[in-house]
Structure 1
Amino acid sequence: MNDVHPIRKMIDPRMWLRALLMLDGTSHQIALGAAIGMFIALTPTVGVQMVLVMLIAMLTRRLFRFNKVAALIAVYISNPLTVVPIYWFNYTIGTIYFPSTITKEEFAKLFEYDGLSEWWASMTRLFVDLGVPLLTGSFVVATMAGLITYPLLLRLLRRMKMLRHRERRMASNRLAKEQVHQKAVRV
């Protein structure tokens, strides 16, 4: 019996990584999709992130292709449980460039809302009160995360594909040896 709480399971990074590793597509397309999704996830665009992924896919399809599912998986790094810590971190990085003096408690209160209309009001207040430091920090953090995600995931995906190929080859060799052995026993 699995005693892991569903919410804890949902935010487990291993689950998201496993999902990325099981996707169909080239290693490049999956890694690029995850990097784009990671970039979007770490920008203050919660609520429209999936739409942004699809819009970017549509606008860039002639330039390059990326795995949209990988991007959508990576976007879920920011979710209702992680958005406040992510945005606080981004805001803190932004205050290095544009000083601001809001406390963590005041920051968290900006995310308290009931319903969609209050959510939009909250997001508007967030940008009015913290706009420049939050956007600057988000751009810095999202860019770094995207640039790190691509090569790390690309290497991991290539390694996983190589290991799977090796396992298939070994299984095929074992099967061939067993068939030869069975023929020899019959004779």
Structure 2
Amino acid sequence: MRKRLVDALKYIVHIDASANRIALSSGLGMVIGFSPYLGFHTLLATIVSVGLRLPIYPLMIGAYITNPFTIPPIYAFLYKVGVILTDSNKKDLNWNIHSFSELITLAKNILWPLFVGCHVFGLVAGVVTYFVVKYLLIKYRGY
């Protein structure tokens, strides 16, 4: 496991692109990885990579921060962030569903805080990742 991580980091360091472009790719990958669009992360990362001509490897690493093992804790955390940011009260969730309209209301009460939490935290994680990766690449590469 450690060897695979070291190999991945070595690969990123030696990508033929500027530190700025690799860092941008990494940061956008994190934004995509924390987005609520499950099932579309690979597609989004590919579109961003091709559209902005960024290296795809750092984008995919960020996009795959959410995987079947990490989805439950990450999205639970992001939902809580969204509840705080939207001032939602999760105690208002009514789990006694007797009609389709009650199901839609429950979905809205869950999805809006999740949507907000995912995007806000994703942007913060993306910006932090950008600066950390850029700093490390500049320090490692010596320029």
TM-score range (shorter-chain normalised) is 0.7 to 0.9
* Residue identity matched to 1:150: Y
CA distance in 2 between counterparts of 1:23 and 1:89 reads 33
Residue type matched to 1:91 in 2?
Y
Question: Quick one: distance in 1 between partners of 2:120 and 2:5?
Answer: 22
The residue that corresponds to 1:82 in the other structure is 70
Classify the secondary structure of the residue corresponding to 1:66. coil
> What is the CA-CA distance between 1:66 and the residue it aligns to?
2.1
| Offset of residue 15 of structure 1 | 6.5
Indicate how the Cα distance of structure 1 residues 87 and 162 shifts in structure 2: closer, same or farther if over 3 A, else same: same
Work out which of the residue numbers 24, 32, 39 in structure 2 matches 1:40. 32
In 2, distance between residues paired with 1:67 and 1:131?
A: 32
Which residue of the other structure, out of 41, 46, 49, is the alignment partner of 1:49? 41
2:137 to 157, 160, 180: 157
Helix, strand or coil: the match of 2:110?
helix
Q: Which amino acid aligns with 1:89?
A: F
- CA separation of 1:97/1:57 partners in 2, compared to 1, >3 Å: closer, same or farther? same
Residue 19 of structure 1: CA displacement? 4.5
Q: Distance in 2 between matches of 1:14 and 1:136?
A: 34
CA distance in 1 between counterparts of 2:111 and 2:8 reads: 30
Q: 1:13 to 1:94 in 2, by over 3 A?
A: farther
1:173 corresponds to: none
Q: TM-score normalised to the size of structure 2?
A: 0.76
Please tell me whether Structure 1 or Structure 2 has the larger radius of gyration of its CA atoms.
1
Q: Which residue of 2 aligns with 1:170?
A: none
- Which residue pairs with 1:136 in the alignment? 116
CA 95–16 in structure 1, closer or farther in 2 if over 3 Å, else same = farther
SS in 1 for 2:90: coil
Identity, in percent, stands at 28
Written as runs of structure 1 = structure 2, the 5 A alignment for 1:106-145 is 128=108, 130-145=110-125
After the TM superposition, which of the residue ranges 126-135 and 69-78 deviates more from structure 2? 126-135
What is the aligned counterpart of 1:21 among 1, 7, 13? 13
Tell me if the contact between 2:29 and 2:45 (Cα under 8 Å) persists in the aligned partners: yes
Cα displacement (A) at 1:88: 0.8
Alpha-carbon displacement from aligned partner over 1:50-95 (angstroms, at most 9, x marks no partner) = 100122234x43xxx4222210122111111111111111100000
Q: How many residues align?
A: 129
TM-score by length of 1: 0.59
Find the counterpart in structure 2 of residue 31 from structure 1: 23
**Is there any run of 5+ residues in structure 1 with no aligned partner, and where?**
1-8, 107-125, 164-187
- The residue type paired with residue 39 of structure 1 is V
Kept in 2: contact 1:23–1:70 (CA 8 A) = no
Q: SS state of the match for residue 38, structure 2? A: coil
Cα distance in 2 for residues equivalent to 1:83 and 1:46: 9
